[in-house]
Amino acid sequence: MTDLSTTIAGVRFPSCFMNAAGALCVTRDELVALGKSAAGAIVTKSMTVEPRQGNPEPRYYGFPGGSINSMGLPNLGYKAYAELIPELKRFGKPVVASVAGLCEEDFPTIAAAINAAQPDLIEVNLSCPNIPGKPQIGYDPESSERVIKRVRQIITVPMGLKLPPYFDPAHHEAMGKVIGRYGIDFLNMINSVGNGLVVDPEREAVVIKPKGGFGGLGGRLIKPVALANVRAFYKIFQGRIPIIGTGGVMDGVDAFEHLLCGASAIQVGTVLVEEGLDVFGRLDKELAGILARKGYRSVAECRGMVKEL
């Protein structure tokens, strides 16, 4: 029997697959449905101080090869999620609370309340790409360090960082140095590849309304960028910090590639939105088949094993 469970920061996940923050996880009903599904965890929407409606619609569009979105962080506000966490923990799988902020000052406020609610892990989102006029904190090592330093003093449950895609080894190195200073328990990469544009040639129009049609890209077309970031940080930390691989996973083969590059777990966004909660059963089955065929008995056995030429 192939073991698809995984452990991150001492927390056991019954399956290595879970939703990415943002995908079918905003409302109580959506979170409860994740609890009842075959997902290995319940990941909340990235939460802000105040509830947010998000950007005007249409703000998500799936197309062959991927998706584009500019959601604008629609969420219930951190107080609502803090109240929901005890209920969500009853499903017997880890609850991962994703914490975001519209400015640096928001992070400690949210972190304190959510930490008090005791989710199994807290993911500090340094990379929400879809707030007009707000740059991604994760692209500025100094801003990132200020936020990490403040929340690290508050958070007592295992704490991780959700990172944007980096495109240059110098950025991997700079962020690696910051991360290495604060005893981070896990990393999650990547968020959407920001600032894409999709055009419908028939309508001669962009496909989403916010920001003139610009938005974050997800789905299969971003997989090489996601794999590169997983591999880069796996090598920087020599496998010591568990990584959740996110980006471009549509099937079991994509997940296997993430594991080979160094991921310990997998999050899915686009394929979950497109296919619904049954996707977790399909992914489990496909990955188990690949691991068995390859002679791996568990997710852990193939982690980081990709060969370099």
pLDDT in tens, 229-269: 999 999 999 999 999 999 999 999 999 999 999 999 999 99
Angstrom distance (rounded) from CA 191 to CA 33: 23
**Rg (alpha carbons) of the chain, rounded to whole number:** 18
Residue 273, φ and ψ in degrees, nearest 5? -65, -40
Task: Find where tokens 């990955």 sit.
Answer: 287
Per-residue pLDDT at 273 exceeds 70: yes
Average pLDDT over residues 91-112: 96
**% of the chain at pLDDT higher than 90:** 96
Question: Where does the pLDDT of residue 131 fall: very low under 50, low under 70, confident under 90, or very high at 90 and above?
Answer: low
Per-residue pLDDT at 59 exceeds 90: yes
What was the pLDDT predicted at 129? 57
**Domain boundaries defined on the chain:** 6-54+73-192+220-302
Regarding the domain delimited by 6-54+73-192+220-302, which CATH topology (the fold level of the hierarchy) does it fall under? TIM Barrel (3.20.20)
Question: Where does the pLDDT of residue 119 fall: very low under 50, low under 70, confident under 90, or very high at 90 and above?
Answer: very high
Hey, which residues are catalytic here? 128
Distance of alpha carbon 202 from its chain centroid, rounded? 33
**% of the chain at pLDDT higher than 70:** 98
b/e map of 191-224 (b: 16 or more CB within 10 Å)? bbbbebebeeeeeeebbbebbebbbbbbbbbbbe
For residue 234, give every residue at least 6 positions away whose Cβ sits within 8 Å of its Cβ, in sequence order, or none. 243, 261, 262, 263, 304
> Is 187:172 a contact under the CB 8 Å cutoff?
no
Distance of alpha carbon 129 from its chain centroid, rounded? 13
- Tens of pLDDT, residue by residue over 132-149, are 677 799 999 999 999 999
